[in-house]
Amino acid sequence: MDGYRMGRGIVLSGLLLAAALSAAEDENWLANPGFEEAAGAAPAGWSLGMEGRGEGEAVWQEGEAHAGSRCLRVRLTTAGDYYMGRQHLSQAVQPGRLHQIRGWYRSDAEMVAHPCVYNVGADGKVISAWESPLPLARVWTPFQFTWTPPPGTERFELQLRAQAGPGTAWFDDVMVGSAVHLEAERRERLAEATQRIAKGALALRVLEPSERPTPADFADAARWQALQAATAVSIFAARGERESFAALVLGLDGQPLTARMTDLAGPGGARLPATAATVRWAGGVVVDGQTWPDPLFEEQPFSSQPDCLPMLWVTLAVPAAGTPAGEYTGTLEVQSAARTATLPVRLQVYDFALPASSYLPTSFWVFRHTIRNAYGLKEIPTEVYRRYLDLCLESRLAPIDAAEWHDQPFVRLRRDAQGELQVDWELWDSYVGYGMERGMTAFNVADVHWFGTYFRSFTVQDAVTGKEETVTLDPASPEYAQTVIRFFRLAHEHFSARGWAARAYLQAYDEPAGNDATLLAEIARFHELARQGWPGLRTLITAAPQSYAALQGSTGIWCPLTSHYDDGVAAARRKLGEEVWWYVCCGPQAPWANFFLDQPGAAHRVLFWQTFQRRADGLLYWGINHWPDFAARSMDPLPAEKRWPQAPWNDGGRKGDGYFLYPGPRGPLTGLRFEIMRDGVEDYDALRMLQDLVTRKGPQAPEALRQRATAALTVGPEISVSMTNYPSTAGAMVAQRRQVNELIVEFGKLP
């Protein structure tokens, strides 16, 4: 199989692994790593068995090993937890230093092979875990990963598992231990690549579409050679689209840099002014000892960051109207230390506009309390909050307010002179209305994270006296039911009057435990009460319909993890009038497409193609700005010298999970991942535009044109073989997107 980048490590081709192991070896801490030694009827040093539920086996197999005569075979015959081979390691761990796991595996099902290393403290309790499901590999295939154990780790426990779904995995010749030599070799290659990039004449080279490279990528001679030929930019866009490219700066040698785009000259004297371009500089975030580009700085002159590529990110915003179709040309110009360099830019504008509002309903959560805490504010001013909303809406993603506490309420309850409960929607309208005017595809009627528990204890202001009181209600009481029904009746009336009701949904609970019958009954009842007040209100739950029978009939929008999405089940729920979205968060891990910092940019973009391919009705993500340093409920402002970017960004071991924006010194800064995700949404919208045109105009279209459209609307293996098997570059997506654009123009000309 080809080598695919996978989260914290790589599933390597045999050639790559051989090269990686040619340097000095790190010590293997495992006993009997090749399963050859016996202790009675079992492999010495290993315990075989299972944890949790499910049928299967863990077997010391003779024959068909990677090397020698023995290997480990683990199998699940029903969906469950895992069968495994386990080993408790005795060697002392150095927290904060790089460690590694590598070995060989094969499998007969996607993601069934699942190595896991627990980070164990002095008290024997598990602090955290490194783990990664591995893609289908029908022949022996090497894997290698690195991770940094957190503070407090003293020992490791290794588990080689068959996990989750039915299937068999084999493991052999496994290594776990420190990565001293591996890290030294990585640093040496990094230093060589960094010097190669820094020295020489000042020059600009174009990176591949949606690429988020590290300096180590250019230690590869072939990649470096290919870069030398990338001396011009050729991109395309529809009207109403933002299209970006990345340019690597060679020969900068640590000097500051200024950069600008010229006007772009177009057909018939048309121009795309320089003000339509945004030029930014990619900073880095450290994950497991490696620096990955993400935060985009706007203030010039730009300065390099250690171990981070000197990279510009340029975005051209094509107006939705008034821009003639055709070719536009301009130049990216840079200056540094009295030296200059240029890069010619060609932009093709297609003769159609993307819709102002995306076809794809989304729910990307924005947290006000992290903004408040990051800047030491008591309350978020509207103009500050809207800057965060703007960045989300520019990326065609719906920013869903997800306050974790009701200490900055958007929805305020009042009691009128007659004693009736009323709702003051002023602040909520300011947020929702601002988003709707800018294309927001969906919004949550609830203004707090777990709104299903809100009416147990809430604050009401007396409209006459102005005094506030806390109302506490028993969820089983008639008063509680009446209050919930009235709130949603008022919400329905209010949002219907404003024309927003069709984009409303209710997510009142998040990731409920599937085995908690009491909680599931509570959710079903809350949904029922809400729909008594608002008939037909779409109720969303982050759960898979096949695993939550208790909520079937109560749920309007199912939203499982992408790894739990079932095409047949989704089709059956849609026949009942329900929707099936999906989501990613801290899982599923690579090689599932997700938004982690240490995944290739193509993984961020391909998820939207997979959304189109699998017909998911929407996409949810839990955090746009849930910053690790500022997640606590309150925080005193940090002194300037301790604030990012003066101090390094603290990822908190999350690999970017939960944030795509950064708290810049003068306001929010977007990240490369967010920019690439916008490309994915734009791809999705173009696919949907073509799909609609084929539906409407297909009967009168020539057969050859219909066949071309069918091919362009098919997400083939060159883009996504499966949810876990896709190229690490976006070239095929870009090529097919160009075909889609051309077909939209052709279909648009039909009567």
Between CA 547 and CA 79 the distance in angstroms is 12
Could you tell me the two tokens for 312? Answer: 């510009």
Whole-number Å distance between alpha carbons of 607 and 592: 9
Look at residues 494, 418, 410 and name the one whose alpha carbon lies nearest to residue 454.
Answer: 410
Q: pLDDT tens, 330-376?
A: 999 999 999 999 999 999 999 999 999 999 999 999 999 899 888 88
Q: Give the model confidence (pLDDT) of 576-630 as tens digits.
A: 999 999 999 998 988 899 999 999 999 999 999 999 999 999 999 999 999 988 7
* DSSP summary character for residue 219: G
Whether 24 has a pLDDT exceeding 90, the answer reads no
The pLDDT tens digits of the residues spanning 398-436 come to 999 998 777 778 889 999 999 999 999 999 999 999 999
Class of domain 4-178: mainly beta
Q: β-pairing, 242-250 with 113-120?
A: unpaired
- So what's the pLDDT on residue 389? 98
Closest to 235 (Cα-Cα) out of 748, 747, 741? 741
Strands 277-287 and 290-297: antiparallel
Q: In this structure, which topology does domain 188-353 adopt according to CATH?
A: Immunoglobulin-like (2.60.40)
Write down the pLDDT at residue 6: 33
CA atoms within 13 A on the CB side of 91: 14
pLDDT at position 13 over 60: no
Residue 60 has pLDDT above 50, yes or no: yes
pLDDT tens-digit series, residues 90-137 = 999 999 898 999 999 999 998 899 999 999 999 999 999 998 889 899
Element (DSSP H or E) covering residue 496: helix 478-497
Say which amino acid occupies 110. Answer: E
What distance in Å separates the CA atoms of residue 137 and residue 134, rounded to the nearest whole number? 8
Q: Residue 634: pLDDT band by 50, 70, 90 thresholds?
A: low
Residues 211-264: pLDDT tens digits? 999 888 898 889 999 999 999 999 999 999 999 999 999 999 999 999 999 999
Closest CA to 194 of 234, 132, 254, 119: 254
Instruction: Report yes or no: 396 and 681 within 8 Å, Cβ to Cβ.
Output: yes
Report the first-to-last Cα separation within the chain, whole angstroms. 48
pLDDT at 635: 65
Q: Which residues contact 61 (CB under 8 A, 6 or more apart)?
A: 70, 71, 72, 73, 170
Q: Where are the alpha helices (DSSP H) in 307-455?
A: 368-375, 382-394, 426-437
Strands (E), 549-657: 557-558, 579-580, 582-584, 619-621
Q: pLDDT tens for residues 563-585?
A: 999 999 999 999 999 999 999 99
Residues 6+ apart with CB under 8 A from 206: 230, 231, 232, 233, 245, 246, 247, 248, 343
Q: Judge residue 585's burial from the number of C-beta atoms within 10 Å of its C-beta, 0-12 exposed, 13-18 middle, 19 or more buried.
A: middle
pLDDT on residue 62: 96
Three-state secondary-structure class, residue 312: strand
Beta strands 619-621 and 362-366, pairing class: parallel
Q: What is the average per-residue pLDDT within 470-498?
A: 97
For residues 23 and 348, the model is more confident at: 348
Identify the bridge partners of residue 670 per DSSP, sorted by sequence position: 661
Per-residue model confidence as pLDDT tens digits over 504-548: 999 999 999 999 999 999 999 999 999 999 999 999 999 999 999
The pTM (predicted TM-score) of the whole model is: 0.89
Contacts (Cβ under 8 Å, ≥6 apart) of 416: 422, 463
Q: Which residues is 235 bridged to in the sheet?
A: 347
CA separation for the pair 570, 579 (Å, rounded): 8
Is 188-353 the same fold as 4-178?
Answer: no
Paired strand residues for 100: 146, 177
Q: What is the mean pLDDT of the chain?
A: 92
Domains of the chain, residue spans: 4-178, 188-353, 692-748
Q: Is the pLDDT of residue 679 over 90?
A: yes
Q: Which residue has the tokens 């420190």?
A: 178
Q: Are 614 and 740 in contact (CB under 8 A)?
A: no
How far apart CA 247 and CA 745 sit, in angstroms, is 30
Cα maximum dimension of the chain:
85
DSSP string, 385-422: HHHHHHHHHHTT--EEE--SSTTS-SSEEEE-TTS-EE
Residue 230 CA to residue 218 CA, distance in Å, equals 14
Pairing assessment for the beta strands 38-39 and 42-43 based on DSSP bridges: antiparallel
- Please state, in angstroms and rounded to a whole number, the distance separating the CA atoms of residues 435 and 358: 13
